[in-house]
Amino acid sequence: MKSILIFIPLLPLLGAAITGFFGKKLTTTYAHRLAILFVLMSTCLSLYVLGDVLGKNFYEFSLFTWAQIGELKFEIGFLVDSLTALMMLVVTSVSLMVHIYTIGYMKGDPGYRRFFSYISLFTFAMLMLVMSNNLLQLFFGWEAVGLVSYLLIGFWFKKETAIHASLKAFLVNRVGDVGFLMGIGLVVYFTGSLNYMEIFDSVSILVDREYSLFDWWSVSLLTIICICLFIGAMGKSAQFPLHVWLPDSMEGPTPISALIHAATMVTAGIFMVSRMSPIFELSEHALIFIMIIGSITALFMGILGMVQNDIKKVVAYSTLSQLGYMTVALGASAYSLAMFHLITHAFFKALLFLAAGSVIIGMHHEQDIRKMGGLYKFMPITWVVSLIGTLSLIGFPFLSGFYSKDLIILAVGVSNSGFAGFVHLVLEIGVFITAFYSFRMFLLVFHGTPRFSLDKNAPHESNFVVVLPLILLAIPSIFLGGVIFEPLVFSSWLDDAIYISPNHDFLINMDFVSSSFFEFALHGFSTPTFWLLLSGVICAYLIVIIFPKSAAYLSKNFPRLNILLKEKYYLDRFNFWFFASGSRLIGEKLFKFSDRALIDDLLVNGTAKLVSRAGLLMRIAQTGYLYHYAIVMFLAIALMLWWFIPESN
């Protein structure tokens, strides 16, 4: 089994190396076949490992120690439990679909081989992250994912907006990584280890340590550590206010948008918090903080999705909102539900992104949904799979997204955590908002009167290699939630990987939830959540189909609100004014002081001036008269005699 586990991340790495270093010697066909073959093998091995691990097997081992400081070891190792095995299969299977889809989407692109190399490397980095048995290896995978995302978002490097978006993603994530590193440093300092198992065994060391920030306020060490670690998750999983990089990442090719937003980069923070649950469970204040941040993200990012007109950005803001739901679940100690929603979301969100890419291809690279309409006649397969993905996203009963999303709302509703009542209300409002913007996009794209010229390049259905991944992803988007509903939530699938304090065990308070997925889905039709969902769909239908001019009317009559939403709450402007311009101003001041004043004026020019003035002083003594020099020599000899000849006693 150890060999199999080693091969799972190495196979995508091998594919990345071959297509990257030897791609020019291979035809495009052989390049994508090799990359897909290696990811397919990794997917099959991940499926085998999942079956083995769910049979109550557990693997934890170190391959080698690459450095050691005292008793602190820096190792490369693997921890494979149920949490890891589920993530491995999600990452590899979604990556496989993206690899296949890329054949059609990137056809003819001059960077075709390079793109396959990057997405294979991305898969390797994510696998190393989820399979690690220590915090340092997780951090290396964390940073590798960020680095490759920088390369992929800026893949079309001749496009200025893509370059800016990739740099923005890189810099914003570094902000989160500072907090993450501080959290790791505190854990290592107090526990003396990077290994998960050793950290969890030593967690009692961290309990009851408090530090006074003011005379009237003290904070526990555990809370500091948890919030620092979560700041890292805020950057990687795009939580408010570190979410600003994610919508701009749509400047990259659609396949990587699907991979980043569905199964890899943005899920890393959710996975990390779930992995570190034995620590987070000991800090009530950190959990409340996490829940509040998640609810803010879920609500306000969903509202922004209501006014987007770029098809990919609508889906991107839905990702932000759904990540908020997952984060709320973490704050409510519902780690299994956060992972449940992560898994179902991975498939239906990948489906929606790839379907959006199919629409973009069919519309000859038009992304403005206001210039579409009536596409169901031209793209029937894309229409069907988009409907499936949209229904799953809004949580329609019997589809995958319903089970995980509704359970999160129920769990928060019965939680005894602080602010749980307010957060529950926010999530319910989010259901209406999600349904509205999702069906607004769906109706604008596929229904209504066509808002494009049929004479010039009429839309067309995408080719088979693009449509095939859509069909395959539609299957888990429908059935996966029901299949894993009982074992993941009400059985013991994740018991070996996740710790929940008895005070936070939400399942005890959810005994009214039926263990039958069918009965639970039927019950979903009678809940307030369903009626909010239905209201959102009806509102979208009224605004898009019945009263198509109402959107312009609302924008005209509520100009300040419209501008606020179009400017994305002015967060980008604030970041540019305060952080970017502020940093530049500080840099200019430091440059003027250190480089100009200290180095140039004082050290360089100052030394020259000192020598020059010393020379002027010496010049005064050089009179040219011999008797002047004789007097100086006489005085110098007299001074030397006085100094060196000792006085007589």
pLDDT tens for residues 539-553? 999 999 999 888 888
382-433 residue pLDDT tens: 999 999 999 999 999 999 999 999 999 998 988 887 788 899 999 999 999 9
- What pLDDT shows up at residue 313? 93
Q: Name residue, tokens 């529950």.
A: 424
- What pLDDT shows up at residue 575? 84
Cα 178 to Cα 145: distance, rounded to the nearest angstrom:
16
Residue 601 DSSP SS3: helix
Confidence of residue 618 (pLDDT cuts 50, 70, 90): confident
pLDDT value at 649 more than 60: no
- What pLDDT shows up at residue 507? 67
CA quadruple 385, 12, 246, 390: dihedral, nearest 10: 10
- What pLDDT shows up at residue 15? 92
295-336 residue pLDDT tens: 999 999 999 999 999 999 999 999 999 999 999 999 998 899
> In this predicted model, which residue has the larger pLDDT, 351 or 615?
351
| Mean pLDDT of the residues in the chain | 89
Cα 213 to Cα 223: distance, rounded to the nearest angstrom:
13
pLDDT value at 463 more than 60: yes
Cα 372 to Cα 446: distance, rounded to the nearest angstrom:
7
Q: Which of 86-100, 119-133, 148-162, 583-597 has the lowest mean pLDDT?
A: 583-597
Report the amino acid identity of residue 158. K
- What pLDDT shows up at residue 215? 65
Mean pLDDT over 3-9 rounds to 93
Cα 126 to Cα 90: distance, rounded to the nearest angstrom:
11
Q: Is the dihedral of CA 404, 405, 409, 410 positive or negative?
A: negative
Indicate the domain borders of the chain.
Answer: 571-644
What residue spans of 106-157 are helical by DSSP H?
112-131, 135-153
- What pLDDT shows up at residue 513? 60
Output b/e per residue, 545-556; b: 16+ Cβ within 10 A: eeebeebeeeee
Cα 87 to Cα 264: distance, rounded to the nearest angstrom:
9
Residue 255 DSSP SS3: helix
pLDDT value at 508 more than 90: no
- What pLDDT shows up at residue 598? 81
- What pLDDT shows up at residue 603? 80
Say how far residue 11 (Cα) sits from the centre of its chain: 24
Cα 299 to Cα 86: distance, rounded to the nearest angstrom:
28
Cα 186 to Cα 189: distance, rounded to the nearest angstrom:
5
- What pLDDT shows up at residue 471? 95
290, 331 Cβ separation under 8 angstroms: yes
As beta bridge partners, residue 64 has: 76
Cα 236 to Cα 143: distance, rounded to the nearest angstrom:
10
Q: At what angle do helices 559-566 and 550-557 cross, to 10 degrees?
A: 100
Within 8 A by CB and 6+ apart from 457, the residues are 364
255-283 residue pLDDT tens: 988 888 776 788 899 999 999 999 999 98
- What pLDDT shows up at residue 4? 92
- What pLDDT shows up at residue 382? 94
Q: Which of 114-118, 149-153, 321-325, 609-613 has the lowest mean pLDDT?
A: 609-613
Confidence of residue 214 (pLDDT cuts 50, 70, 90): low
pTM over 0.75: yes
DSSP for 405-451, written as a single string: HHHHHHHHHH--STTHHHHHHHHHHHHHHHHHHHHHHHHHHHSSS--
Q: At what angle do helices 135-153 and 112-131 cross, to 10 degrees?
A: 160
Among left, alpha and beta (phi > 0; psi -120 to 50; other), residue 419 is left
DSSP E strands in 39-175: the ranges are 59-69, 72-80
- What pLDDT shows up at residue 440? 94
The DSSP bridge pattern shows strands 210-214 and 217-220 to be antiparallel
What are the Cα distances from residue 399, in Å, to 345, 395, 638?
Answer: 11, 7, 107
- What pLDDT shows up at residue 512? 55
Percent of the chain, pLDDT > 70? Answer: 97
DSSP for 312-361, written as a single string: HHHHHHHHHHHHHHHHHHHHTT-HHHHHHHHHHHHHHHHHHHHHHHHHHH
141, 124 Cβ separation under 8 angstroms: no
Report the amino acid identity of residue 601. D
